[in-house]
């Protein structure tokens, strides 16, 4: 039996269903599903993703069986629609669209109105009784086909699109603003001019054979899988290139047949904030692209559709309810109203901001549509998206002052919540170039509208502001997904790309001027408006709001309680100050996984420098004696803040010369302060210089050569703990030795720590339980983990150094080539952000297995930066770690990711 490549849907029955996303892509699978559940879907067929894979493996050719299968499916479509493709009395027209497993909005190509030629256009005129419609459709078809299939679309956005140019000239000559104001005669002229432009550029005649047209469109859609923007998108969202796209060929229905017709896109709930009820755009008498392209600013479904087209609205409303009930999630739909009748062209689970994701998930649980387990699935709430609830918003007083000071420029549609200010940049390429030079640059990308070519620039901007387009425009959709602050459709903005200015209400702002946008309200301000913490932060951290005053907080808290119910991995924090520690506990941290003690010396740097500069033991001990009380106080504060939760304190790690002044003036300055000759300081700096300090005299190597440093730190830890014990607080310090590779290194330092503990216990008459464990951050520690675990009471993976030492890539110097590596698919992502599971991860697994063979039940955590990155958290769960430790603001993300890992495990 030959392979099935083509799947029909229509007339209430489909070959496929929603579960077949791998074969049919998201769009095709859902068109089939909607057909199966009785929704009005124009008939069509899906060519499977397998054909795309074949196409690329066989020099852009198709499987031999495909043509016959397409012909058979087309015959079924004709039967279902009661029209014939290429017919010269009442022709069926079709569309051809891409559809990958994961939606990639706007990244690939589409061709509409296929089947028109000089003969069928006349037939369409007669059949529809609307000559303007027929020629408008023909004009659009030649333009799209010319762009997409015959390659006239300019490669760079700055180049002129020949069709747009001809269209603009025609409108100018006719003295009109919009395409729909052109006369039939002018449309006919345009069709001829478009064809001439194609012939001039390609030397080819425009194809008149409808069948040839379909195959041209199918080939173009498959080819668009490998266009630059689709590749960039897949890289950004981790979609494998091997998946390929399906192609959907579907009977056209028309939203541009008159004023009882419309086309629209909508979400069944608001995608920015999650509020219930339709949220979307429509245009009367228009075709689909007009809405998303942002050419005409569309109308809002929730505001006017019920009035404009009451019957269609009612039908759409009931379809929305059926879809939400069926898919148990908010849907993003495309529809056309043809002569009052609603047709569904697409449905998919809606993209949403982190705010909306949390609200929708909690609401759906409360509506009884999903369970709490389903609510926290990574598909509904990618753990990273929680970040948006922790991001700043505009300070109300600052905003009022800006309003009173006449800084409010205009108001657009709120499409991506949050507050952002930044310098205006008009072109995505410029934004990217600025960002590459200065990754801290604060930019707001200001455009008439965005298109998929702008993706890279959008990624680096803090906010996105457009003059056209609605809540479902490209800018809105993509920003929402990226979690960017976004305002669209601020139609009063007059943007002049050539002059690099934006003018509104008599004011002109230039490129580089500051602008502020409020993604909750759509307001646009001149200059910088101060931001303030989000509601969740106000409740948890600054305590300026009570929990009952914030619904957003309450939903967040509910969600976190569900996450805690299911996760098994504990979440700690990396903190060295009581304030950070308290914040982290408010975010749900269950202990400190890493206190970097070198950070504690920043406030006492002169005494610390004196210690480093000491040339002999007595003078070093004198300097250390000065440091001891500071350290004791710092540990006391930290233990107290953690109120009995475990605290892991890592002994001194970094290369000593990092603390010393390197230029002449500051050496002289230090000499005067601590009473040591400047030339002596210069000599010590020289002596301590290392060619490769990251692999030099740091970590336990310091404490081994200078055991008095370890002794001072250990003493400070135990004195602080004993003092608190006396005050009635139980503290269980976990002392951690850095950069251990040999068990002998560990034992050497452990001895110093235990000796000090015994001394302090004897002196104070108090004792505390404590552990001595180790960082696992060099490959040798993984390879000999059984030996090390024989002595060490716990492990904590330092994946920053473990990545550095496993890959042989300096953690400080990889910025120069990592982007090149990512763009050339040499690495899937930055290994210092996401654990390199195949490499570093394999060593971690070895560390866990060997470690626990040396000490059954050994407690193991991670404290490298990866501990707050969701995919790495999932990995840590899988390999059996006990906890992850991350920066305070990532604690909620790690809690959610840990629950997602546990639930995935249970499946
Ligand atoms: C690590 O190496 O992962 C780690 C936590 O230590 P540091 O970043 O301080 O070297
Ligand atoms: Mg380290």
Cα of 461 vs centre of ligand 2, distance in Å, is: 32
Buried b (16+ CB within 10 A) or exposed e, 829-868: bbbbebbbbeebbebbbbbbebbbebbeebbbbbbbbbbb
* Inter-axis angle of helices 799-807 and 840-854, nearest 10: 120
What residue has token string 């707050």?
Answer: 868
Establish whether residue 653 lines the binding site of ligand 1, counting it when its CB lies within 6 angstroms of any ligand atom. yes
Given the CA of residue 801, which atom of ligand 1 is nearest to it? Answer: 2
210-228 pLDDT tens trace: 999 999 999 999 999 998 8
- pTM here is 0.82
User: Which pLDDT score, from 0 to 100, does residue 645 have?
Assistant: 95
Report the side by side order of strands in the sheet with 299-300. Answer: 299-300, 276-284, 262-269, 331-338, 341-349
408 in helix, strand or coil? Answer: strand
C-alpha distance across the termini of the chain, in Å: 35
When pLDDT is averaged across residues 767-787 and rounded to a whole number, the result is 98
pLDDT tier at 813, thresholds 50, 70, 90? confident
Using a 10 angstrom Cβ sphere, with 0-12 exposed, 13-18 middle and 19 or more buried, the burial of residue 530 is: middle
Given the CA of residue 596, which atom of ligand 1 is nearest to it? Answer: 9
Q: Measured between alpha carbons, how far is 855 from 847 in angstroms, rounded to an integer?
A: 12
Write the DSSP string, 246-303. EEEEEE---S-SSTT-EEEEEEEE-TTT--EEEEEEEEES--THHHHTTSSPPEEIII
Q: Measured between alpha carbons, how far is 309 from 316 in angstroms, rounded to an integer?
A: 10
733-747 pLDDT tens trace: 999 999 999 999 999
Establish whether residue 412 lines the binding site of ligand 1, counting it when its CB lies within 6 angstroms of any ligand atom. no
**Residue among 652, 737, 775 to mutate when testing ligand 1 (max atoms within 8 A of CB):** 775
Q: Spell out the residues 6+ positions from residue 581 whose beta carbon is closer than 8 angstroms to its own.
A: 573, 575, 589, 592, 638, 641, 642, 888
Instruction: Give the dihedral of Cα atoms 390, 811, 814, 875; nearest 10 deg.
Output: -60
What residue has token string 């002595």?
Answer: 791
pLDDT reading at 621 higher than 60: yes
Strand partners, 772: 735
User: Which pLDDT score, from 0 to 100, does residue 236 have?
Assistant: 79
pLDDT tier at 156, thresholds 50, 70, 90? low
Q: Measured between alpha carbons, how far is 527 from 514 in angstroms, rounded to an integer?
A: 5
Q: Measured between alpha carbons, how far is 470 from 317 in angstroms, rounded to an integer?
A: 20
561-604 pLDDT tens trace: 999 999 999 999 999 889 889 999 999 999 999 999 988 887 78
* 677 within 8 A of 671, measured Cβ to Cβ: yes
When pLDDT is averaged across residues 360-387 and rounded to a whole number, the result is 95
pLDDT tier at 296, thresholds 50, 70, 90? low
**Residue among 592, 595, 800, 812 to mutate when testing ligand 1 (max atoms within 8 A of CB):** 800
What backbone phi and psi angles, to 5 degrees, belong to 394? -70, 145
840-874 pLDDT tens trace: 999 999 999 999 999 999 999 999 989 999 999 99
Establish whether residue 801 lines the binding site of ligand 1, counting it when its CB lies within 6 angstroms of any ligand atom. yes
When pLDDT is averaged across residues 478-502 and rounded to a whole number, the result is 86
Cα of 667 vs centre of ligand 1, distance in Å, is: 29
pLDDT reading at 605 higher than 90: no
User: Which pLDDT score, from 0 to 100, does residue 191 have?
Assistant: 96
Q: Spell out the residues 6+ positions from residue 2 whose beta carbon is closer than 8 angstroms to its own.
A: 65
Q: Measured between alpha carbons, how far is 361 from 372 in angstroms, rounded to an integer?
A: 8
pLDDT reading at 294 higher than 60: no
Given the CA of residue 800, which atom of ligand 1 is nearest to it? Answer: 3
pLDDT reading at 292 higher than 60: no
Structure tokens at 520: 């909750």
Structure tokens at 195: 């064809």
User: Which pLDDT score, from 0 to 100, does residue 655 have?
Assistant: 76
Establish whether residue 800 lines the binding site of ligand 1, counting it when its CB lies within 6 angstroms of any ligand atom. yes
Given the CA of residue 865, which atom of ligand 1 is nearest to it? Answer: 3
**Residue among 574, 596, 654 to mutate when testing ligand 1 (max atoms within 8 A of CB):** 596
Residue nearest to atom 9 of ligand 1 (CA): 596
Q: Measured between alpha carbons, how far is 209 from 219 in angstroms, rounded to an integer?
A: 16
What residue has token string 């890592």?
Answer: 650
Residue nearest to atom 8 of ligand 1 (CA): 800
Establish whether residue 864 lines the binding site of ligand 1, counting it when its CB lies within 6 angstroms of any ligand atom. yes
CB atoms within 10 A of CB 258: 17
Cα of 800 vs centre of ligand 2, distance in Å, is: 6
Establish whether residue 734 lines the binding site of ligand 1, counting it when its CB lies within 6 angstroms of any ligand atom. no
Cα of 777 vs centre of ligand 2, distance in Å, is: 6
Establish whether residue 15 lines the binding site of ligand 1, counting it when its CB lies within 6 angstroms of any ligand atom. no
Establish whether residue 596 lines the binding site of ligand 1, counting it when its CB lies within 6 angstroms of any ligand atom. yes
Query: Residues with Cβ within 5 Å of ion ligand 2?
Result: 777, 798, 801
User: Which pLDDT score, from 0 to 100, does residue 530 have?
Assistant: 87
**Residue among 599, 736, 738 to mutate when testing ligand 1 (max atoms within 8 A of CB):** 738
pLDDT reading at 907 higher than 80: no
DSSP H helices in 775-860? 779-783, 785-791, 799-807, 815-823, 840-854
pLDDT reading at 256 higher than 90: no
Mean pLDDT of the chain: 92
**Residue among 599, 700, 798 to mutate when testing ligand 1 (max atoms within 8 A of CB):** 798
User: Which pLDDT score, from 0 to 100, does residue 157 have?
Assistant: 62
Establish whether residue 597 lines the binding site of ligand 1, counting it when its CB lies within 6 angstroms of any ligand atom. no
Q: Measured between alpha carbons, how far is 526 from 200 in angstroms, rounded to an integer?
A: 47
427-485 pLDDT tens trace: 999 999 999 899 899 999 999 988 777 888 998 999 999 998 776 677 887 786 676 89
When pLDDT is averaged across residues 314-331 and rounded to a whole number, the result is 95
Ligand at shortest distance from the CA of 865: 1
Cα of 738 vs centre of ligand 1, distance in Å, is: 9
Q: Is 799 annotated as a binding residue?
A: yes
User: Which pLDDT score, from 0 to 100, does residue 876 have?
Assistant: 98
CA angle 361, 364, 368 (to 5 degrees): 140
Cα of 798 vs centre of ligand 2, distance in Å, is: 5
Q: Tell me how many helices (H) and strands (E) the chain has.
A: 37, 34
What Cα–Cα distance (Å) separates residue 651 from each residue in 599, 688, 734, 778?
Answer: 11, 20, 11, 16
Q: Measured between alpha carbons, how far is 544 from 430 in angstroms, rounded to an integer?
A: 40
Residues belonging to the active site = 474, 863
Buried b (16+ CB within 10 A) or exposed e, 44-68: bbbbbbbbbbbbeeeeeebeeebee
Given the CA of residue 796, which atom of ligand 1 is nearest to it? Answer: 5
pLDDT reading at 291 higher than 80: no
For the range 824-829, what are the long-range contacts, defined as Cβ-Cβ under 8 Å and sequence gap of 24 or more? 825/235, 825/241, 828/238, 829/238
Residue nearest to atom 1 of ligand 1 (CA): 798
pLDDT reading at 814 higher than 90: no
Cα of 697 vs centre of ligand 2, distance in Å, is: 13
Q: Measured between alpha carbons, how far is 450 from 529 in angstroms, rounded to an integer?
A: 25
pLDDT tier at 3, thresholds 50, 70, 90? very high
Q: Is 798 annotated as a binding residue?
A: yes
More confident residue, 805 or 676: 805
Establish whether residue 483 lines the binding site of ligand 1, counting it when its CB lies within 6 angstroms of any ligand atom. no
* 592 within 8 A of 574, measured Cβ to Cβ: yes
* Inter-axis angle of helices 578-586 and 617-642, nearest 10: 30
Structure tokens at 424: 């205006």
Q: Spell out the residues 6+ positions from residue 348 whose beta carbon is closer than 8 angstroms to its own.
A: 26, 27, 30, 103, 331, 332
Given the CA of residue 797, which atom of ligand 1 is nearest to it? Answer: 3
Q: Is 777 annotated as a binding residue?
A: yes
Ligand at shortest distance from the CA of 800: 1
Establish whether residue 725 lines the binding site of ligand 1, counting it when its CB lies within 6 angstroms of any ligand atom. no
Ligand at shortest distance from the CA of 863: 1
Cα of 792 vs centre of ligand 2, distance in Å, is: 17
Ligand at shortest distance from the CA of 862: 1
More confident residue, 692 or 593: 593
pLDDT tier at 295, thresholds 50, 70, 90? low
Establish whether residue 798 lines the binding site of ligand 1, counting it when its CB lies within 6 angstroms of any ligand atom. yes
Given the CA of residue 866, which atom of ligand 1 is nearest to it? Answer: 3
Q: Is 632 annotated as a binding residue?
A: no
CB atoms within 10 A of CB 877: 21
Q: Measured between alpha carbons, how far is 801 from 480 in angstroms, rounded to an integer?
A: 35
Q: Is 3 annotated as a binding residue?
A: no
Strand partners, 465: 446, 487
Residue nearest to atom 4 of ligand 1 (CA): 798
Given the CA of residue 798, which atom of ligand 1 is nearest to it? Answer: 3
Ligand at shortest distance from the CA of 799: 1
Cα of 226 vs centre of ligand 2, distance in Å, is: 40
Domains of the chain with CATH codes: 262-351 (3.30.470.20), 391-532 (3.50.30.10), 567-655+690-906 (3.20.20.60)
Cα of 736 vs centre of ligand 1, distance in Å, is: 12
Establish whether residue 799 lines the binding site of ligand 1, counting it when its CB lies within 6 angstroms of any ligand atom. yes
* 127 within 8 A of 472, measured Cβ to Cβ: no
pLDDT tier at 556, thresholds 50, 70, 90? very high
When pLDDT is averaged across residues 180-184 and rounded to a whole number, the result is 87
Ligand at shortest distance from the CA of 658: 1
Structure tokens at 38: 């009785």
The least confident of 641-645, 749-753, 847-851 is: 641-645
Structure tokens at 826: 């040499």
Radius of gyration of the chain (CA): 32
Given the CA of residue 738, which atom of ligand 1 is nearest to it? Answer: 6
Cα of 651 vs centre of ligand 1, distance in Å, is: 12
User: Which pLDDT score, from 0 to 100, does residue 27 have?
Assistant: 96
């Amino acid at each position: 039996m030959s392979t099935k490549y083509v799947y029909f849907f229509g007339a209430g029955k489909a070959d496929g269903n929603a579960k077949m996303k791998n074969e049919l892509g998201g769009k095709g699978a859902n068109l089939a599903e909607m057909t199966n559940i009785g929704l009005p879907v124009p008939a069509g067929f899906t060519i499977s993703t397998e054909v795309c894979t074949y196409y690329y493996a066989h020099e852009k050719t198709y499987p031999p069986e495909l043509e016959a299968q397409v012909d058979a499916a087309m015959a079924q479509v004709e039967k279902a629609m009661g029209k014939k493709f290429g017919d010269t009395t009442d022709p069926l027209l079709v569309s051809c669209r891409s559809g990958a497993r994961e939606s990639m909005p706007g990244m690939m190509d589409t061709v509409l109105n296929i089947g028109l030629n000089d003969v069928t256009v006349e037939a369409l005129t007669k059949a529809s009784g609307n000559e303007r419609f027929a020629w408008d459709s023909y004009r659009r078809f030649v333009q799209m086909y010319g762009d997409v299939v015959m390659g006239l679309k300019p490669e760079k956005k700055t180049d002129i699109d020949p069709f747009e140019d001809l269209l603009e000239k025609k409108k100018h000559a006719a003295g009109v603003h919009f395409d729909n104001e052109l006369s039939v005669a002018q449309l006919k002229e345009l069709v001829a001019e478009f064809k001439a432009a194609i012939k001039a550029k390609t030397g080819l005649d425009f194809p008149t054979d409808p069948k040839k047209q379909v195959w041209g469109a199918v080939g173009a859609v498959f080819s668009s899988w490998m266009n630059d923007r689709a590749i960039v998108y897949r890289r950004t969202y981790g979609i494998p290139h091997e998946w390929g796209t399906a192609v959907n060929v579907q009977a056209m229905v028309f939203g541009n047949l008159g004023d009882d017709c419309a086309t629209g896109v909508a979400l069944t709930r608001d995608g920015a904030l999650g509020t219930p009820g339709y949220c979307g755009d429509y245009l009367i008498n228009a075709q689909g692209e007009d809405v998303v392209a942002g050419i005409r600013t569309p109308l809002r479904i929730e505001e006017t559709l019920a009035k404009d087209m009451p019957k269609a609205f009612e039908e759409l409303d009931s379809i929305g309810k059926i879809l939400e009930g069926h898919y148990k999630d908010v849907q993003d739909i495309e529809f056309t109203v043809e002569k009052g009748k609603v047709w569904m062209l697409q449905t998919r689970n809606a993209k949403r901001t982190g705010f909306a994701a949390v609200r929708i998930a909690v609401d759906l649980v409360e509506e009884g549509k999903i369970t709490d387990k389903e609510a926290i699935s990574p598909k509904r709430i990618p753990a990273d998206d929680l970040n948006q609830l922790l991001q700043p918003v505009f300070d109300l007083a600052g905003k009022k002052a800006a309003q009173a000071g006449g800084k409010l420029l205009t108001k657009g549609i709120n499409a991506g919540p949050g507050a952002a200010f930044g310098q205006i940049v008009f072109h995505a390429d410029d934004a990217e170039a600025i960002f590459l030079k200065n990754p801290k640059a604060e930019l707001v990308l200001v455009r008439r509208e965005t298109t998929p070519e702008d993706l890279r620039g959008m990624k680096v901007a803090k906010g996105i502001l457009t003059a056209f387009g609605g809540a479902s425009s490209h800018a809105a959709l993509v920003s929402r997904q990226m979690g960017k602050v976004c305002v669209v459709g601020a139609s009063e903005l007059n943007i002049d790309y050539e002059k690099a200015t934006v003018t509104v209400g008599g004011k002109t702002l230039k490129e580089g001027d500051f602008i502020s946008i409020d993604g909750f309200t759509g307001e646009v301000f001149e200059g910088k408006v101060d931001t303030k913490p989000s509601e969740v932060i106000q409740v948890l951290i600054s305590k300026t709001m009570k929990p009952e005053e914030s619904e957003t907080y309450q939903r967040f808290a509910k969600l976190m309680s569900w996450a805690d119910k299911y996760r098994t991995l504990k979440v700690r924090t990396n903190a060295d100050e009581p304030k950070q520690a308290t914040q982290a506990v408010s975010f749900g941290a269950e202990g400190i996984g890493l206190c970097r003690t070198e950070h504690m010396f920043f406030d006492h740097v002169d005494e610390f420098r004196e210690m480093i500069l000491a040339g002999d033991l007595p003078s070093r001990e004198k300097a250390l004696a000065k440091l001891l009380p500071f350290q004791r106080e710092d540990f006391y504060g930290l233990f107290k803040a953690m109120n009995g939760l475990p605290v892991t304190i890592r002994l001194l790690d970094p290369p000593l010369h990092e603390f010393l002044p390197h230029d002449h003036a500051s050496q002289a300055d230090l000499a005067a302060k601590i009473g040591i000759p400047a030339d002596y300081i210069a000599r010590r700096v020289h002596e301590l210089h290392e060619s490769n300090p990251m692999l030099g005299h740091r970590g336990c190597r310091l404490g081994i050569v200078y055991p008095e440093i370890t002794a001072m730190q250990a003493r400070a830890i135990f004195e602080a703990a004993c003092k608190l014990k006396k005050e009635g607080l139980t503290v269980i310090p976990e002392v951690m030795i850095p950069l251990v590779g040999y068990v002998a290194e560990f034992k050497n330092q452990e001895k110093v720590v235990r000796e000090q503990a015994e001394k302090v216990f004897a002196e104070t008459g108090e004792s505390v339980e404590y552990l001595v464990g180790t960082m696992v951050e060099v490959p040798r520690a993984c390879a000999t983990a059984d030996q090390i675990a024989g002595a060490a009471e716990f492990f904590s993976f330092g994946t920053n150094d473990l990545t550095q030492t496993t890959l042989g890539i300096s953690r400080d110097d990889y910025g120069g080539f990592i982007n090149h590596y990512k763009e050339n698919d040499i690495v899937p992502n930055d290994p210092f952000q996401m654990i390199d599971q195949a490499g570093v991860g394999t060593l971690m697994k070895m560390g866990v297995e060997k470690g626990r063979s040396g000490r059954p039940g050994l407690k193991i955590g991670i404290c490298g930066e990866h501990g707050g990155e969701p995919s790495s958290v999932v990995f840590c769960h899988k390999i059996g770690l006990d906890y992850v430790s991350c920066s305070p603001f990532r604690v909620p993300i790690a809690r959610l990711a840990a629950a997602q890992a546990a639930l995935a495990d249970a499946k």
